[in-house]
């Protein structure tokens, strides 16, 4: 499909003593999978006319990098005749979609920068096989390597779910333990259960973003990174965590107590348990057989839960944060629906062995009632509020 400019906007930005004119263009080009994608780029008209992959409104920028020989962020990706390179189109359009999702669906989400550096064989035959995708907190950007898929080197950034996964690590680092005074967050400690939560929330939003156009949850694809794992398998699967390139547990009975020098305490392994709880919750149905959540309500629920986590949160802490967030989000719903949501969250985590203790989370009001010997009222209160 040919290159076309369908709209443009002029902006100016100061560049030393000169004014550099930037023209924002809406592009339509073919991506790696042969699909037509829309995205914005910037045309710099001075001193040398050139067009590169940057969307100043969404704060999305995409660069080529020959990692590790070149330093971050890399080189501008410019339009090559006759059109943009398909893998670059995928990378930039995917990052733009993720930024749009965070900014439109997650009201109040931090609007950081979505910077990608991609290793790409289309970059003058870059045959480096630095594999995987990474969020680099120090550089505040994502790095996407290449894997052999169907016999050919392919940049991981062509997969929207992988791009969504990496930028959710960014979202987490901007959200958990956010201090409104310093406008900084601590993020989750990348170790043991808090690190596994970081991985799991990245997987959850990867699934939500990749399936956002499919309204029937029964038709969702629960794989992440299909074809990018060993032997062409998916990297993760929320429905069947054991059915992917590196099988994960889906119950606390199989939790791996790994040392810190082994995958930061098994963060990419044990995340399967929390992933399975999320799958259970996302597929929960009401008494009429309708799904309790859709993409928007589920994304808002998990995002609000993120804002209530602390840097050392564990799986039970996430369960509590989701229950508290559900009370906030669905507080205006009918008592029946609120009860069904509360029970669905509890059951989803119970089924993977993430259980609260009998008297855990009992509100202080209950103990006060007991002290007042108002036992009956206390028991009724407990029935209504125990998660």
Catalytically active residues are 166, 268
What is the CB-side half-sphere exposure of residue 351 using CA atoms within 13 A? 15
**Cβ closest to Zn ion, residue 40 vs residue 114:** 114
Question: Using CA atoms, how far apart are residues 122 and 79, in angstroms rounded to an integer?
Answer: 12
**Cβ closest to Zn ion, residue 154 vs residue 170:** 170
**Cβ closest to Zn ion, residue 29 vs residue 196:** 196
> What is the four-CA torsion angle of 356, 360, 363, 366, rounded to 10 degrees?
120
Binding mask 145-184 for Zn ion (x = CB under 5 A): ----------------------------------------
Q: Which stretch binds Zn ion (CB under 5 A): 87-95, 118-126, 179-187, 199-207?
A: 199-207
Q: Give ∠ CA 347-338-110 in degrees, rounded to 5.
A: 90
Q: Which stretch binds Zn ion (CB under 5 A): 3-11, 37-45, 150-158, 202-210?
A: 202-210
Positive or negative torsion for Cα 114, 115, 121, 124: positive
Pairing of strands 133-136, 4-15: unpaired
Residues in 90-109 at the binding interface with Zn ion, rule: CB under 5 A:
none
Q: How many residues bind Zn ion (CB under 5 A)?
A: 2
Shortest distance (Å) from residue 165 CB to Zn ion: 6
**Cβ closest to Zn ion, residue 149 vs residue 202:** 202
**Cβ closest to Zn ion, residue 222 vs residue 381:** 222
Shortest distance (Å) from residue 135 CB to Zn ion: 7
What is the CB-side half-sphere exposure of residue 274 using CA atoms within 13 A? 29
Shortest distance (Å) from residue 111 CB to Zn ion: 21
Q: Which stretch binds Zn ion (CB under 5 A): 145-153, 201-209, 325-333, 377-385?
A: 201-209
Shortest distance (Å) from residue 200 CB to Zn ion: 9
Secondary structure string (H, E, C) spanning 205-227: HHHHHHCCCCCCHHHCCCEECCC
Question: Using CA atoms, how far apart are residues 112 and 140, in angstroms rounded to an integer?
Answer: 9
Q: Which stretch binds Zn ion (CB under 5 A): 40-48, 68-76, 194-202, 350-358?
A: 194-202
Q: Which parts of this chain interact with Zn ion (CB under 5 A)?
A: 199, 202
């Amino acid at each position: 499909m040919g290159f076309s400019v369908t709209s443009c906007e002029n902006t100016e930005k100061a560049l030393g003593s000169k004014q550099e004119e930037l023209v924002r263009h809406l592009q339509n080009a073919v991506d790696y999978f042969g699909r037509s994608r829309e995205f914005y780029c910037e045309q710099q008209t001075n001193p040398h006319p050139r067009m590169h992959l940057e969307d100043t409104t969404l704060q999305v920028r995409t660069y080529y990098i020959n990692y590790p020989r070149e330093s971050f962020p890399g080189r501008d990706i410019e339009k090559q005749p006759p059109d943009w390179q398909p893998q670059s189109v995928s990378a930039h359009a995917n990052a733009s979609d993720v930024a749009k999702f965070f900014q439109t669906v997650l009201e109040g989400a931090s609007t950081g920068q979505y910077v990608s550096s991609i290793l790409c064989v289309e970059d003058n035959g870059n045959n480096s096989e630095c594999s995987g995708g990474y969020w680099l907190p120090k550089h505040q950007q994502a790095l996407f390597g290449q894997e052999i898929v169907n016999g050919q080197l392919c940049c991981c950034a062509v997969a929207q779910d992988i791009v969504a996964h990496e930028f959710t690590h960014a979202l987490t680092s901007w959200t958990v333990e956010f201090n409104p005074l310093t406008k900084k967050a601590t993020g989750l400690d990348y170790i043991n259960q808090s690190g596994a939560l970081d991985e799991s929330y990245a997987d959850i939003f990867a699934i939500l973003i990749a399936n956002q156009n499919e309204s029937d949850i029964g038709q969702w694809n629960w794989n992440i990174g299909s074809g990018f794992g060993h032997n062409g398998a998916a990297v993760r699967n929320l429905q069947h965590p054991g059915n992917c390139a590196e099988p994960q547990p889906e119950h606390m009975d199989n939790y791996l107590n790994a040392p810190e020098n082994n995958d930061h305490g098994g963060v990419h392994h044990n995340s399967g348990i929390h992933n399975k709880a999320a799958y259970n919750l996302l597929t929960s149905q009401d008494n009429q057989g309708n799904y309790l959540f859709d993409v928007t309500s589920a994304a808002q629920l998990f995002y609000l839960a993120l804002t209530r986590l602390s840097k050392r949160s564990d799986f039970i802490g996430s369960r509590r944060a989701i229950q508290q967030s559900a009370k906030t989000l669905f507080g205006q719903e009918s008592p029946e629906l609120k009860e069904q949501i509360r029970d669905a969250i509890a059951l989803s985590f119970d089924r993977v062995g993430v259980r609260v203790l009998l008297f855990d989370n009992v509100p202080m009001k209950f103990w006060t009632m007991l002290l007042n010997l108002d036992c009956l009222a206390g028991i009724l209160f407990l029935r209504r509020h125990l998660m």
